[in-house]
């Protein structure tokens, strides 16, 4: 089914679009669908968003007063239209939303300019795209009519249901939430209409947790089959490295987790080392040459863990064909990094290769290697079976450690992973070596070998960004925000967490690393880590389109390509690597000497376009802002899902300990109470200010504490207190605590 957004997007990409071509692009053939399209086109014309010229072609009016934005509502009823490019948000009064809901993509018109600290005000004139067709709701009877009341209190609407859905009336004991499909969204004075498609009885029943959390995160089309079939790829003209040992560092346990690259090491007599990163040749097996082939990815852009398996964005056929099976020869797209005796990068080159995985390196191997007393004596029961590979693995670990030290010295941050003690969430807490949305690395750990892989893949992804942009190629990249300095006012708020030996620079700042080093208490250091993580804004994928977009000297931008089974970003960047190897021009008409354009600094010898017009057109299909926007939207949903899945399992665990007393540490203070971490089972709960009935407590935002008016008793971040679990709320993922 088409949306208003898809109409405008298609018209926007053409100088003039005929009605018949628009129907073809939207895959509309039925008369009923054409009637709906006619209504939409007429409305867009009247709103002066599109125009029909003398040739009966539709064009997009560039000077329209309408702005594209997404609606963001709070539970308190405040709604804003959030624009891209960090422009000021537009405040929308409830009566001017025109039935737009939280998450909807809309066209907004500003009706009142902002001034001083006030945001501009606007009105929603057109809903471009609904965030979801399915809502989690409670069924209630209002004035003898059956309604679905969304459990997301940011959606300011109720949906009329048929009389037969009365049987799903909400029962507090069962906590029977229903999934409601919208048949008609509210229009003007007409209420929205829908019907129940499934009931989820959540109380003391974990069987529905995954479906509940997925639906709450607006994932409802995951069962739609992905029918991508792998192409045959040639084994000719590939560098055969299959006789050399290669190693897969793997912590993920689930059978269908993202397929990982393998690492190979070569030492040479001139004290140089070649570190090979062999990535799964997925982009080589998929046809990405047309809009039709890209439609397969229209609603799947990332793989993420469920409780007992992964939800992959690629087909099972593609994954099985591309993965490195132990002892089998496989095709790869590889990067060779040349290192000097100090493990500094002095050269690189990209290749198509044939490789063989010799060993899957597991956490038990890394732990045994790092904790052994002597490198000369191999006595461990774990290490004896892999004795012949130990020298290589030791060297790979050493290189990974040197890489990480260099990354930290250039401004990156490292934070130890939160301890997990909920077995079903194990996969959620493993380091994802292809994840760059966070502004920090997970610390290298001998209990998670993928942390070592992550520092190597970071360098490989950084190299491709440098290589591609020097040739003026497009890439999908993450740009670090370089958040290194913490302001003095923030330090004052959390001064109880660190020692008194604060040495600030002239601007009243400290670096992130300095603050952590000043915190001695491990519990308080853990709280500081959480505070910093919460303060950091996640990075989004950005389209880099020319040489001047990024300052290379900062070494802060990566274009991930090494884990194409993880997400679409890696896939299209790897596709670019593959195309440059296979289709990149190595000489111009006046030059008979071929240049190896896949080597470091080869761009200095090239003064011609690497791609012909056909390849460039294909790349424009992959690397465009519309696709990147959809990708980021999907990634945000996946991030929310993963956070919510952790939360619901923590709430389930806390439910078993209602009435129990625990030691906790305050990790955040708000006007309505403070949040406490219970380290015993790694959950967080709220002590509401209303339960502090021994005094009247007021919130002081500058000091970030609650203080009693009479007793002067205060509660601030870092305080260790004794609490009792009194209640849990599965629907809100909330744990209520009270002081003892």
Pairing of strands 79-82, 66-73: antiparallel
Judge if 517 and 584 occupy the same domain. no
d(CA 248, CA 309): 20
Do 278 and 366 lie in a common domain?
Answer: yes
271 and 417 share one domain: yes
Same domain, 401 and 267: yes
The answer to whether residue 209 is domain-embedded is: no
Exposed / middle / buried, residue 30 (Cβ in 10 Å: 0-12, 13-18, 19+): exposed
In a domain, 211, yes or no: no
Q: Are residues 446 and 489 in the same domain?
A: no
> Can you give the CATH number for the domain in which 185 is found?
2.40.50.700
Domain boundary among the residues 108, 129, 150 is at 129
Cross-strand bridge partners of residue 599? 349
Q: What is the pLDDT of residue 703?
A: 78
What local confidence, expressed as pLDDT, does residue 234 receive?
A: 79
Domain boundary among 201, 221, 249: 201
> Do 416 and 550 reside in the same domain of the chain?
yes
Print burial letters for 537-559: b (CB count within 10 Å at least 16), e (below 16).
eebebbbbbeeeebeeeebbbbb
Please indicate, yes or no, if residue 649 is contained in any of the structural domains: no
Q: Note the pLDDT of residue 488.
A: 45
Q: What is the DSSP letter of 416?
A: P
140 and 26 part of one domain: no
pLDDT tens digits, 559-575? 999 999 999 999 999 99
Give the model's pLDDT for residue 271: 87
Say if residue 598 is in the same domain as residue 721. no
Helix axes 4-12, 31-46, angle to 10 degrees: 70
Residues listed for the chain: 740
251 alpha-carbon distance from chain centroid: 20
221 part of a folded domain:
no
- Six token digits for residue 258: 């993202």
Give the per-residue pLDDT at 482: 59
**Does one domain contain both 326 and 260?**
yes
d(CA 664, CA 163): 49
pLDDT in the model for residue 553: 47
Task: Strands of 524-641 (E only): list them.
Answer: 541-544, 557-558
Q: What are 512-521's contacts with CB under 8 Å, separation 24+? A: 512/413, 512/483, 512/484, 512/486, 513/408, 513/413, 515/486, 515/491, 521/497
Instruction: Show which of 639, 670, 704 is a domain's final residue.
Output: 639
In a domain, 219, yes or no: no
**Torsion sign across C-alpha atoms 554, 559, 563, 566:** positive
pLDDT at 516 (0 to 100): 66
Q: Is 259 in the same domain as 361?
A: yes
Burial readout 429-441 (b: 16 or more C-beta within 10 A, e: otherwise): bbbbbbbbbbbeb
CA gap 404, 419 in Å, rounded: 21
Whether residue 215 lies inside any domain: the answer is no
Closest residue by Cα to residue 35 from 19, 48, 51: 19
- How high is the pLDDT of residue 538? 83
Residue 594 forms part of a structural domain: yes
- Name residues of the chain where pLDDT drops below 50: 484-485, 487-488, 552-553
Residue 670 and residue 558 share a domain: no
The two structure tokens encoding residue 537 = 């804004």
Residues 342, 427: one domain? Answer: yes
What's the CATH code of the domain at 676? 2.40.50.140
Whole-prediction pTM value? Answer: 0.89
Phi and psi for 515 in degrees, rounded to 5?
-65, -45
For residue 228, is it within any domain? no
Range of the domain at 504: 485-535
Count of structural domains within the chain? 6
């Amino acid at each position: 089914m088409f949306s208003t957004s898809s109409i405008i997007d298609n018209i926007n990409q053409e100088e003039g679009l005929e009605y018949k071509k628009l129907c073809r692009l939207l895959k509309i053939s039925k008369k009923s669908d054409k009637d709906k399209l006619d209504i939409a086109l007429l409305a867009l014309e009247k709103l002066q968003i599109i125009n029909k010229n003398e040739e009966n072609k539709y064009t997009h009016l560039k000077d329209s007063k309408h702005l594209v934005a997404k609606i963001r509502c709070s539970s308190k009823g405040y709604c804003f239209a959030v624009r891209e490019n960090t422009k000021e948000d537009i405040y929308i009064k409830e009566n001017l939303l025109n039935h737009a809901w939280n998450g909807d993509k809309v066209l907004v018109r500003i009706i009142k300019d902002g001034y001083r600290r006030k945001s501009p005000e606007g009105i929603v004139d057109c809903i471009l795209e609904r965030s979801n067709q399915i809502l989690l709701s409670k069924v209630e009877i209002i004035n003898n009519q059956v309604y679905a009341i969304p459990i997301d209190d940011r959606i300011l609407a109720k949906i009329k249901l048929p009389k037969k859905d009365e049987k799903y009336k909400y029962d507090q004991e069962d906590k029977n939430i229903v999934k409601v499909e919208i048949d008609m969204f509210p229009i003007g004075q007409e209420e929205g209409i829908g019907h129940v498609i499934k009931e989820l009885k959540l109380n003391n029943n974990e069987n529905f947790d995954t479906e509940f959390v997925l639906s709450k995160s607006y994932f409802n089309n995951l069962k739609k089959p992905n029918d991508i079939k792998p192409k045959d790829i040639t084994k000719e003209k590939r560098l055969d490295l299959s006789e050399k040992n290669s190693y897969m560092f793997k912590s993920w346990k689930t059978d269908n987790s993202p397929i990982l690259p393998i690492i190979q090491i070569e030492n040479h007599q001139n004290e140089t080392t070649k570190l090979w990163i062999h990535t799964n040749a997925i982009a080589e097996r998929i046809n990405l040459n047309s809009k039709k082939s890209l439609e397969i990815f229209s609603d799947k852009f990332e793989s993420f863990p469920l409780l007992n398996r992964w939800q992959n964005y690629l087909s099972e056929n593609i994954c099985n064909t591309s993965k490195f099976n132990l002892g089998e020869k496989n095709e790869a797209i590889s990067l060779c990094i040349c290192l000097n005796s100090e493990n500094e990068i002095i050269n690189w080159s990209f290749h198509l290769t044939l490789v063989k995985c010799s060993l899957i390196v597991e956490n038990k191997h890394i732990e045994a290697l790092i904790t052994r007393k002597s490198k000369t004596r191999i006595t461990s029961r774990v290490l004896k079976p892999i004795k012949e590979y130990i020298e290589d693995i030791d060297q790979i670990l050493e290189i990974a450690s040197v890489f990480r030290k260099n990354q930290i010295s250039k401004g990156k941050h490292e934070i130890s992973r939160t301890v997990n003690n909920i077995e079903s969430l194990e996969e959620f807490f493993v380091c994802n070596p292809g994840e760059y949305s966070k502004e920090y690395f997970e610390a290298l750990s001998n209990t998670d070998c993928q942390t070592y892989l992550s520092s190597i893949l970071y360098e490989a992804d950084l190299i491709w960004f440098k290589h591609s942009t020097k040739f003026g190629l497009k890439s999908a990249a993450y740009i670090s925000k370089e958040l290194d300095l913490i302001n003095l006012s923030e330090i004052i708020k959390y001064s109880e967490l660190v020692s008194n030996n604060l040495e600030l620079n002239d601007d009243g700042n400290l670096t992130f690393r300095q603050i952590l080093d000043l915190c001695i208490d491990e519990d308080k250091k853990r709280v500081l880590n959480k505070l910093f993580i919460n303060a950091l804004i996640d990075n989004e994928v950005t389209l880099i389109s020319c040489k001047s977009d990024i300052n290379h000297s900062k070494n802060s931008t990566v274009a991930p390509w090494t884990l194409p089974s993880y997400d679409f970003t890696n896939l299209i960047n790897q596709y670019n690597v593959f195309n440059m190897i296979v289709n990149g021009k190595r000489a111009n008409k006046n030059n008979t000497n071929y240049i190896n354009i896949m080597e470091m600094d080869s761009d200095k010898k090239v003064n011609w376009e690497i791609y012909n017009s056909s390849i460039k057109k294909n790349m424009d299909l992959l690397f465009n802002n519309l696709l990147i926007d959809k990708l980021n939207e999907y990634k945000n949903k996946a991030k929310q899902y993963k956070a919510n899945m952790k939360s619901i399992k923590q709430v389930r665990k806390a439910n078993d300990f209602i009435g129990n007393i625990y030691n906790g540490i305050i990790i955040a203070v708000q006007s309505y109470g403070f949040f406490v971490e219970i380290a015993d089972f790694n959950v967080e709960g709220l002590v509401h200010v209303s339960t502090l009935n021994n005094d009247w407590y007021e919130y002081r935002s500058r000091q970030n504490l609650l203080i009693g008016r009479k007793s002067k008793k205060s509660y601030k971040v870092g305080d260790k207190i004794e609490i009792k679990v009194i209640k849990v709320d599965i629907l809100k993922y909330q744990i209520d605590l009270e002081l003892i």
